[in-house]
Amino acid sequence: KQEVTQIPAALSVPEGENLVLNCSFTDSAIYNLQWFRQDPGKGLTSLLLIQSSQREQTSGRLNASLDKSSGRSTLYIAASQPGDSATYLCAVRGDSSYKLIFGSGTRLLVRP
Amino acid sequence: SAVISQKPSRDICQRGTSLTIQCQVDSQVTMMFWYRQQPGQSLTLIATANQGSEATYESGFVIDKFPISRPNLTFSTLTVSNMSPEDSSIYLCSVLGGVDGSYEQYFGPGTRLTVT
């Protein structure tokens, strides 16, 4: 059974810092991995999608990497801003299922 | 990408009553999903709804409690029946999209339900 873990659970950084959020999964037989952002009480916004054959994806100040064999993904946020404050969720899709399995999220606070 | 809307955005309901949540997508999609997010928790899949077939429920969720309709390729409803305070959650509609089999998943804004 796939399990997804995100570390740290919460993170507080001053504005301008570069930071890394971690995601690990127990079953390496994945189809893809998706990073989402969730603002309090809101839905999820898709940030980056990485297919199992890819090593990384970039969008603006965000870069996500994937090491399928070791069951790890990282989300790198460059030059953090207060507007980046949100919960970041990692989710994996198995290669034999349409289901997304979510981690518990990292709650990020970027202080001005 | 797919644009998803949900109604209502939030509601406060009394225990024992039922609430139907609507999900509308701006394009035709085969697979729609309903998720629940309890306070302070991550997302849990309730069921998968494909047009023209019965919804498939995950372990711990039953049709009598969470009946789902999927009348066409752009619309679905989830009903939360005989509500109790434990049903207080955010309910999210989601669709599977993406081009060329990329299977990117998109989410609606959610319905925040409080049961008193």
Residue B19, pLDDT score: 98
- Which of A35, A36, A38, A97 would best serve as a mutation to test chain B binding (most B beta carbons within 10 A)? A38
Question: Once rounded to an integer, what is the mean pLDDT over residues A103-109?
Answer: 96
Assess whether pLDDT exceeds 80 at residue B100.
no
The three-class DSSP label of residue B99 is coil
- Separation of CA B49 from chain center: 9
φ, ψ of residue B85 in degrees (nearest 5): -55, -30
Residue B2, pLDDT score: 86
Inter-chain touch A42–B42, beta carbons under 8 Å: no
Q: Are A5 and A24 in contact (CB under 8 A)?
A: yes
Please write the tens of the pLDDT for every residue from A23-60: 999 999 999 999 999 998 888 999 999 999 999 999 99
Percentage with pLDDT > 70 across chain B: 99
CA nearest to A93, candidates A51, A58, A48? A51
Question: Once rounded to an integer, what is the mean pLDDT over residues B90-114?
Answer: 89
Inter-chain touch B45–A32, beta carbons under 8 Å: no
Assess whether pLDDT exceeds 90 at residue A111.
yes
Assess whether pLDDT exceeds 90 at residue B81.
yes
Which one of A43, A93, A105 has the shortest CB-CB distance to B103?
Answer: A93
Residue B46, pLDDT score: 97
Please write the tens of the pLDDT for every residue from A73-98: 999 999 999 999 999 999 999 887 78
Distance of residue B1 Cα from the nearest chain A Cα, in angstroms: 10
Assess whether pLDDT exceeds 90 at residue B93.
yes
Strand bridging mode B111-115 / B10-13: parallel
- Separation of CA B21 from chain center: 7
Residue B51, pLDDT score: 81
Inter-chain touch A42–B48, beta carbons under 8 Å: no
Write the DSSP string, chain A. Answer: ---EEEE-SEEEEETT--EEEEEEES---EEEEEEEEE-TTS-EEEEEEEETT-SEEEETTEEEEEETTTTEEEEEE-S--GGG-EEEEEEEEETT-S-EEE---EEEEEE-
Question: Once rounded to an integer, what is the mean pLDDT over residues A59-78?
Answer: 96
* pLDDT confidence tier of residue B50, bands split at 50, 70 and 90: confident
Which one of B42, B94, B102 has the shortest CB-CB distance to A105?
Answer: B42
